[in-house]
């Protein structure tokens, strides 16, 4: 029977198949842990006298509560003693159980979903879990990757498996030519705006079509990262040469790399395989996007107007955001800019922002911070001189981590402020109590930083190189 990518990877990991009475037991190839969602799981292990079954399939980092500023004396001031305790708890637990950890001393430390692909630990055909909903990022490599709760973190630590029912599958197909200034972030925001924040609930998504085939790994990660914002547990893209080129030579990639690639290629969805649902969109219809409300589905093209608020929830979202139906988001005054998070903190994102900020100054009224996703990216960006572009423009260049994406480490805005952010969630209060968040691409964030108002990036970007005229006869 013709199978989808999801089916193939799923089938490889079924320990005990599901029945009407019980869910499947699914084996986990890679378990990523960080300080926030693991402490209670380790305490359960301790309470029950259990050990970690496969420390060698577990990888730890610190990212959420970590400070992004270093004091002049070299210390790293935590937002609260509790945050520091949380990080220390992770480091102690990982050490006790023999888990490879990328703490302060590691040149690889970073946001968990940025670091693992960089190490080549994330591989096609794997099952990957982490106590973090944006684990869907790793689906960019053709892995089944999804977030789990702390109780399940405990299950995976102790049993390297979890109980789960197989989700349905949904294909999201986008073909065509993307317009100028349209980035992977805009594509995923457009998808979520179309299917809604509950549209993917109960489904595993597969992104298909030439738009994703032509996309870099950085871009694919941005797209898969936000699958969860459409309600889907995971989103995947079939592994191909782009995937293999990215993985080649990284620390954890298989020794017999060519054999592995051959196997990974076989994971593609078979011709004739059936999805439970298919959504088709045209690349030409997608424009740079911004959010205007308090969830990622409340997104519009930057050159269009805020739609009418039909429900009480929509009305209160607009009130919270202090915006009005029928007006444009572009032109709205901003206070802060955040370029970072596991959605948009990789090299491609930083380069895109730097290209816009090069030789420019950030508006006086704006505080902009740029936070690389990992120590690896920070070093690479500095080698390219990107940090100098940011600093010269007047932005801050901080230490890698989740930072202002959820503000757990104290990187937050002041009440009422508007932040244009490359992260993935614009929930009320996520970036600080009363803070208003507008999600956008690094390009849009950078363009807005210069003007101090929400700005269409196409207005500041170099014009596209014109395509060769089509000399063929009209189709």
Partner 1 sequence: MSFKPITQITSKTLVLPASNIDTDQIMPARFLTMTTKTGLGKHLFHDWRYNDDGTETDHELNSLAAKDCQILIGGHNFGCGSSREHAPWALTDYGFRVVMSSEIADIFRGNSLKNGLLPIVIDKAAHQWLLDHPSEEVTVDLESCEVRLPKNGGTYKFEIDAFSRHCLMQGIDEMGYLQGQSDALDTFEARYERN
Q: Residue ranges of the alpha helices (H) in 196-271?
A: 210-213, 217-225, 241-247, 257-265
295 binds ligand SF4 (CB under 6 A): no
Q: Distance between the two ends of the chain, CA-based, in angstroms?
A: 36
Q: Which part of the chain contacts ligand SF4 (CB under 6 A), choosing from 121-129, 158-166, 273-281, 398-406?
A: 398-406
311 binds partner 1 (CB under 8 A): yes
226 binds ligand SF4 (CB under 6 A): no
168 binds partner 1 (CB under 8 A): no
Residues across the chain: 475
Q: Which residues touch 334 (CB under 8 Å, ≥6 apart)? A: 366, 418, 419, 420, 438, 448, 449, 452, 453, 454
Query: Which residue, 39 or 288, has its beta carbon nearer to partner 1?
Result: 39
Q: Which does 291 bind (CB under 5 to 8 A by kind): ligand SF4, partner 1, none?
A: none
Q: What is the rounded distance in angstroms from the CA atom of residue 11 to the CA atom of residue 294?
A: 38
Min. distance of Cβ 153 from partner 1 in angstroms?
A: 9
Contact 28, 18 (CB under 8 A): no
66 binds partner 1 (CB under 8 A): no
Residue 6 C-alpha from the chain's centroid = 20
Q: Return the residues of window 244-273 that contact partner 1 according to CB under 8 A.
A: none
Query: Which residue, 137 or 332, has its beta carbon nearer to ligand SF4?
Result: 137
Q: Residue ranges of the alpha helices (H) in 128-266?
A: 150-159, 184-195, 210-213, 217-225, 241-247, 257-265
89 binds partner 1 (CB under 8 A): yes
Q: Which does 91 bind (CB under 5 to 8 A by kind): partner 1, ligand SF4, none?
A: none
Interaction mask 115-134, partner 1, x per CB under 8 A: ----------------xxx-
Q: What is the rounded distance in angstroms from the CA atom of residue 213 to the CA atom of residue 173?
A: 11
Whole-angstrom CA distances from 385 to 226, 296, 353, 354 are 29, 33, 13, 10
Q: Return the residues of window 86-145 that contact ligand SF4 according to CB under 6 A.
A: 111, 113, 132, 134
HEC-encoded secondary structure of 368-411: EEEECCEHHHHHHHHHCCHHHHHHHHCCEEECCCCHHHCCCCCC
Min. distance of Cβ 412 from ligand SF4 in angstroms?
A: 13
Is residue 277 packed enough to be buried (19+ CB in 10 Å), middle (13-18) or exposed (0-12)? middle
Q: What is the rounded distance in angstroms from the CA atom of residue 404 to the CA atom of residue 369?
A: 9
Min. distance of Cβ 293 from ligand SF4 in angstroms?
A: 19
Binding ligand SF4 by CB under 6 A: which of 37, 136, 294, 423? 423
Q: Which does 85 bind (CB under 5 to 8 A by kind): ligand SF4, partner 1, none?
A: partner 1
Q: What is the rounded distance in angstroms from the CA atom of residue 195 to the CA atom of residue 174?
A: 14
Q: Which part of the chain contacts ligand SF4 (CB under 6 A), choosing from 13-21, 168-176, 192-200, 402-410?
A: 402-410
Query: Which residue, 154 or 373, has its beta carbon nearer to ligand SF4?
Result: 373
Query: Which residue, 85 or 358, has its beta carbon nearer to partner 1?
Result: 85
Query: Which residue, 162 or 226, has its beta carbon nearer to ligand SF4?
Result: 226
Query: Which residue, 317 or 371, has its beta carbon nearer to ligand SF4?
Result: 371
22 binds partner 1 (CB under 8 A): yes
Residue 383 C-alpha from the chain's centroid = 24
Strand partners, 279: 172
Q: What is the rounded distance in angstroms from the CA atom of residue 372 to the CA atom of residue 398?
A: 7
Q: Which does 265 bind (CB under 5 to 8 A by kind): ligand SF4, partner 1, none?
A: none
Contact 215, 126 (CB under 8 A): no
Binding partner 1 by CB under 8 A: which of 34, 336, 425, 436? 425
344 HSE (CA, 13 A, CB side): 33
Number of residues that bind ligand SF4 (CB under 6 A): 13
149 binds partner 1 (CB under 8 A): yes
Binding region for ligand SF4 (CB under 6 A): 63-64, 111, 113, 132, 134, 341-342, 402, 405-406, 423-424
Binding region for partner 1 (CB under 8 A): 13, 15-16, 20-23, 25, 27, 36-37, 39-40, 43-44, 47-48, 50, 64-65, 80, 82-83, 85-86, 89, 131-133, 147-152, 154-155, 158-163, 165, 197-198, 201-202, 231, 233, 294-295, 311-313, 316, 406-408, 425, 427-430, 433
């Amino acid at each position: 029977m013709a199978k989808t990518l999801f089916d193939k990877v799923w089938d490889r990991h079924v320990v005990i198949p599901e029945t009407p009475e019980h869910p499947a037991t699914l084996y986990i190839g890679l378990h990523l842990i960080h300080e926030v969602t693991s402490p209670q799981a380790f305490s359960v292990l301790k309470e029950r006298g259990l050990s970690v079954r496969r420390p060698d399939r577990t990888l730890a980092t610190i990212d959420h509560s970590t400070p992004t500023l270093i004091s002049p004396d070299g210390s790293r001031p935590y937002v609260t003693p509790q945050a520091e305790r949380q990080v220390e708890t992770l480091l102690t637990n990982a050490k006790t159980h023999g888990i490879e950890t990328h703490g302060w001393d590691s040149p690889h430390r970073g946001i968990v979903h940025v670091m693992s692909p960089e190490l080549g630990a994330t591989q096609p055909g794997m099952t990957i879990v982490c106590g973090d909903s944006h684990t869907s990022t790793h689906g960019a490599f053709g892995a089944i990757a999804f977030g789990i709760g702390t109780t399940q973190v405990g299950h995976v630590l102790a049993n390297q498996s979890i109980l789960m029912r197989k989700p349905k599958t949904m294909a999201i197909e986008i073909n065509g030519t993307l317009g100028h200034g349209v980035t992977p972030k805009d594509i995923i925001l457009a998808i979520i705006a179309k299917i809604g924040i509950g549209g993917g609930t109960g489904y595993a998504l597969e992104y298909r079509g030439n738009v994703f085939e032509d996309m870099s790994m950085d871009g694919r990660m941005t797209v898969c990262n936000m699958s969860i914002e459409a309600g889907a547990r995971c989103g995947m893209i079939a592994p191909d040469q782009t995937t293999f080129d990215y993985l080649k030579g990284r620390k954890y990639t298989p020794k017999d790399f060519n054999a592995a690639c051959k196997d990974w290629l076989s994971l593609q969805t078979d011709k004739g395989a059936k999805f439970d649902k298919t959504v088709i969109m045209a690349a030409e219809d997608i424009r740079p996007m911004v959010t205007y409300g308090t969830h990622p589905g409340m997104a519009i093209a930057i050159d269009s107007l805020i739609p009418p608020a039909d429900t009480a929830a929509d009305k209160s979202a607009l009130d919270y955001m202090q915006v009005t139906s029928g007006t444009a988001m572009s032109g709205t005054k901003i206070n802060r800019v955040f370029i970072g998070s596991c959605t948009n903190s990789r090299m491609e994102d930083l380069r895109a922002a730097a290209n816009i900020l090069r030789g420019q100054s950030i508006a006086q009224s704006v505080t902009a911070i740029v936070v690389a996703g990992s120590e690896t990216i920070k070093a690479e960006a500095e080698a390219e001189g990107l940090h100098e572009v940011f600093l010269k423009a007047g932005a801050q260049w901080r230490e890698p981590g989740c930072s202002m994406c959820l503000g757990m480490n104290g990187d937050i805005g002041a009440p009422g402020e508007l932040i244009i952010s490359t992260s993935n969630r614009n929930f009320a209060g996520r970036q600080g109590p009363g803070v208003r968040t507008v999600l956008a691409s690094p390009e849009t964030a950078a363009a807005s930083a210069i003007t101090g108002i929400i700005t269409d990036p196409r207005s500041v970007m170099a014009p596209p190189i014109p395509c060769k005229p089509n000399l063929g006869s009209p189709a």
